[in-house]
Amino acid sequence: MKFQRHTISVLVENHFGVLARVSGLFSARGFNITSLAVGETEDSRYSRITIVVAGDESILEQIMKQLNKLIDTIKVVDLSQQESIDRELVLVKVLVNASTRMEIMQIVQSFRAKIVDVMTDSMMVEVTGPSSKVDAMLELLRTYGIKEMSRTGMISLGRDSVLYENKDTLSKVKKKAVKKVVKKRSSKKK
């Protein structure tokens, strides 16, 4: 069985409890989330959740079906099947001394990262980019000693795909979401 990383973009209604329902769906079925990032879209009524999971095609298919069944879900896209731009942000506090400070600054410069804070015994670095770039830089910095680190998780957008192109498409997507809610509520009353 071959497990592969999949990046899933989920457009959802932006209100209380949506993230809990999405993450609960994964834990209830025993699926492990590698990375999860969520934030408002250009329209504050909606949020985009970017989820990275590892699994085979049958697991991915099941995840996609389950996400589509959630009332708050507008659209689910597997970005692994198309060209997309992926980024991750990491803040890392690296141990430094007088002899290693310049070496670390050269590493930071070669990865086009930024030094955002300097202390006598440490330096805080911000690196943004694809996970492979972030991982490569962290591997080099580990040799100096990482004191503390925080990763955002990956965010991703398809290059050609747009979850909704214009107001007409958005209104069709919204009508689909309303039909899902009505159908779900009427089936609960029975």
| 17-55 core/surface letters (b: 16 or more CB in 10 A; e: else) | ebeeebeebbeeeebeeebbbbeeeeeeebbbbbbbbeb
Which pTM does this prediction carry? 0.74
Query: What is the location of CATH 3.30.70.1150 in the chain?
Result: 85-151
Residue 167 has pLDDT above 50, yes or no: no
Residue 124 half-sphere exposure toward CB, CA atoms < 13 A: 10
Q: What gap in Å lies between CA 65 and CA 47, rounded to an integer?
A: 19
* Percent residues over pLDDT 90 in the chain: 47
CATH code, 85-151 = 3.30.70.1150
- Give the pLDDT confidence of 126-154 residue by residue, as tens digits: 999 999 999 999 999 999 999 999 999 88
Domain 1-82: CATH class, spelled out: alpha beta
How far does Cα 49 stand from its chain's mean position? Answer: 6
pLDDT, residue 58, reads 84
Query: What is the location of CATH 3.30.70.260 in the chain?
Result: 1-82
Residue 94 near residue 125 (C-beta atoms within 8 A): yes
